[in-house]
Structure 1
């Protein structure tokens, strides 16, 4: 990156992506840390960024508190799913998480009951 062509700014983390200058971006940190889900169910927030001063704006860089940069790539809006599809996607993710929690709880209860049954046999 040529430091002479860089500028500072702020982007907004939303359920629809990281928004900067009406463009949407994503990165592995946002996906890994579930930023978009948090923005959908809690509230949106701003992140400090660095971007190149070119017309296409294909990437931005999130500035971490320790100064590290995380590259975020632009999302092609022409292939963007509808808001209804996005909402259904997030609802299905939440259902899957609830189902996984239910399975974990069921496994815990079964193991607990097996231990109790073993104690009664003695």
Structure 2
């Protein structure tokens, strides 16, 4: 093999790597996103369980929410799962709103309706 052939081989390898590296990065990002989506149901279940537990431990809603968020963040750090705290806060608020609607006392039906 002469120097020109070696240089051609090196250039071909580098060109191939240049094309493969972005694909590998995208694959890693896709796998990470898929793992997070797969764990979403487990995260939701954890939040609901913690909300139930907080209901019995604390009298006011702000303390309950603060405790649930802290517990979820601690759990997420333990398993190396990235949590968006704003999304978590919105999720908790939505779940509380939903339970308030579901557990609302029935309205009296007025005659004629």
Q: Same fold (TM over 0.5)?
A: no
* More strand, by proportion: 1
Choose 1 or 2 for highest CA Rg: 2
> Highest relative contact order (Cα 8 Å, sep 6+), 1 or 2?
1
TM-score where L is the length of structure 2:
0.31
